C-alpha cells in the first residue's frame, strides 16, 4: 500500500480504536464548586429525554491533566447539572471549555461533549484555590475556595455524564439525524481528595449564557488529584425536532459579533 497514512490497515485501526475505547486522562488536578439552582431552571436546560435528579445540583469544575493516552496534556472546565434517564442518574454537561484543539475534537467526535476552546487557569496559594476559564478575553467562569478537610482515599470513585451526539444538517437547517444519547462512565483513581467551601462567579456573554444558571445555595468545594479512565456507550435517541432548541451549546452565536479583547 502506497498511501499508508490515508487508508489504514487493520493493525493501525485497532491501535487507534484501543485509545478511543479506553481513553485515560492522567496526572489530573480537578477543582469543583457545587451549588443548588432553581428546579425550574434545570427543567428548562435539560434536553429531552433527560429529567431532573432529586436535587437541582450544579457542579462547576476547572481541571488540568499532565498527560493522557490520547490527546496529550490539556486543561479545561465543566458545568454539569444533575439529571436522570431510565433509572440512571448522572450529570448532564452544559458546557465544557478546553485548552487544546486536540482535546476538543476528541471529546466532541467521540462522546458528543459540548466543547469550545478557552484559556484555563488553576492555581493554589496554601489552602486557597482559584480557577478561571476565559473566552474572547472575558473570564466568564471563576472559582475560588478554601480547602479545610483532607478526605481519606478508600478506592476508585465512579462518576458518569450524559452527552448527546448530533450534527447540524449540511444545508444549515435542522439536524442531520436523530441525536444519540451517550452515557460516559469514569473511574477516578484518586490520590488526594480535599473538601472545603467555595464560590462561583459567571460573566454573561452572548456565546456562553451561564449566568442564567442562578446560584441559590452553595454545597461545598472539592479538590482531587487523580488518573481518570473512561468508557462510553449509546443508551438512547431523541427526535431531531425535539432536540433542536438544545443543539447550539457547542457552538457560538454566529449572528452576534465576536469581540476579542487582546492584551495591551
At the topology level of CATH, where does 24-156+187-228 sit?
A: Acetoacetate decarboxylase-like (2.40.400)
Report whether pLDDT(214) > 60.
yes
Residue 260: the pLDDT is 56
Confidence label for 261 from pLDDT (cuts 50, 70 and 90): low
Quick one: what percent of the chain has pLDDT higher than 70? 96
Nearest to 121 by CA among 79, 78, 75: 75
Confidence label for 263 from pLDDT (cuts 50, 70 and 90): very low
Confidence label for 206 from pLDDT (cuts 50, 70 and 90): confident
Quick one: what percent of the chain has pLDDT higher than 90? 91
Region of residue 172 (phi > 0: left; psi between -120 and 50: alpha; otherwise: beta): left
Residue 258: the pLDDT is 64
Report whether pLDDT(18) > 90.
yes
Residue 255: the pLDDT is 84
Nearest to 137 by CA among 260, 2, 219: 260
Region of residue 231 (phi > 0: left; psi between -120 and 50: alpha; otherwise: beta): beta
**Beta 157-165 vs 88-98: how paired, if at all?**
parallel
Report whether pLDDT(259) > 80.
no
Can you read off the three cell numbers belonging to residue 222?
A: 472539592
Q: Alpha carbon 167 to chain centroid distance?
A: 18
Rounded Cα gap, residues 235 and 162, in angstroms: 10
Average pLDDT over residues 96-125: 97
Nearest to 119 by CA among 97, 91, 150: 97
Report whether pLDDT(184) > 80.
yes
Average pLDDT over residues 2-23: 90
The DSSP element (H or E) to which 218 belongs, if any, is strand 217-237
Residue 5: the pLDDT is 80
Report whether pLDDT(159) > 50.
yes
Domain ranges of the chain: 24-156+187-228
Report whether pLDDT(264) > 50.
no
Confidence label for 4 from pLDDT (cuts 50, 70 and 90): confident
From the number of C-beta atoms within 10 Å of its C-beta (0-12, 13-18, 19+), residue 56 rates as buried
Average pLDDT over residues 47-53: 98
Can you read off the three cell numbers belonging to residue 220?
A: 461545598
Amino acid at each position: 500500500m502506497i498511501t499508508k497514512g490515508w487508508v489504514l490497515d487493520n493493525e493501525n485501526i485497532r491501535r487507534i480504536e484501543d485509545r478511543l475505547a479506553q481513553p485515560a486522562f492522567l496526572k489530573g488536578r480537578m477543582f469543583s464548586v457545587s451549588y443548588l439552582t432553581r428546579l425550574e431552571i434545570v427543567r428548562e436546560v435539560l434536553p429531552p429525554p433527560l429529567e431532573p435528579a432529586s436535587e437541582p445540583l450544579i457542579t462547576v469544575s476547572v481541571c488540568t491533566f499532565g498527560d493522557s493516552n490520547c490527546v496529550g496534556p490539556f486543561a479545561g472546565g465543566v458545568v454539569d447539572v444533575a439529571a436522570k434517564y431510565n433509572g440512571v442518574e448522572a450529570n448532564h454537561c452544559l458546557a465544557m471549555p478546553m485548552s487544546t484543539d486536540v482535546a476538543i475534537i476528541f471529546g466532541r467526535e467521540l462522546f458528543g461533549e459540548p466543547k469550545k476552546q478557552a484559556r484555563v487557569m488553576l492555581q493554589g496559594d496554601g489552602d486557597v484555590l482559584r480557577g478561571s476559564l476565559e473566552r474572547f478575553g472575558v473570564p466568564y467562569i471563576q472559582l475560588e475556595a478554601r480547602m479545610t478537610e483532607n478526605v481519606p482515599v478508600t478506592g476508585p470513585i465512579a462518576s458518569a455524564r450524559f452527552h448527546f451526539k448530533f450534527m447540524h444538517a449540511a444545508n444549515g437547517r435542522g439536524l442531520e439525524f436523530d441525536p444519540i444519547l451517550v452515557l460516559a462512565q469514569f473511574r477516578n483513581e484518586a490520590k488526594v481528595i480535599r473538601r472545603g467551601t467555595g464560590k462561583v462567579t459567571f460573566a454573561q456573554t452572548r456565546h456562553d449564557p451561564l449566568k442564567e444558571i442562578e446560584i441559590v445555595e452553595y454545597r461545598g468545594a472539592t479538590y482531587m488529584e487523580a488518573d481518570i479512565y473512561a468508557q462510553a456507550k449509546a443508551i438512547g435517541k431523541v427526535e431531531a425536532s425535539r432536540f433542536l432548541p438544545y443543539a447550539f451549546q457547542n457552538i457560538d452565536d454566529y449572528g452576534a459579533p465576536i469581540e476579542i479583547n487582546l492584551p495591551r
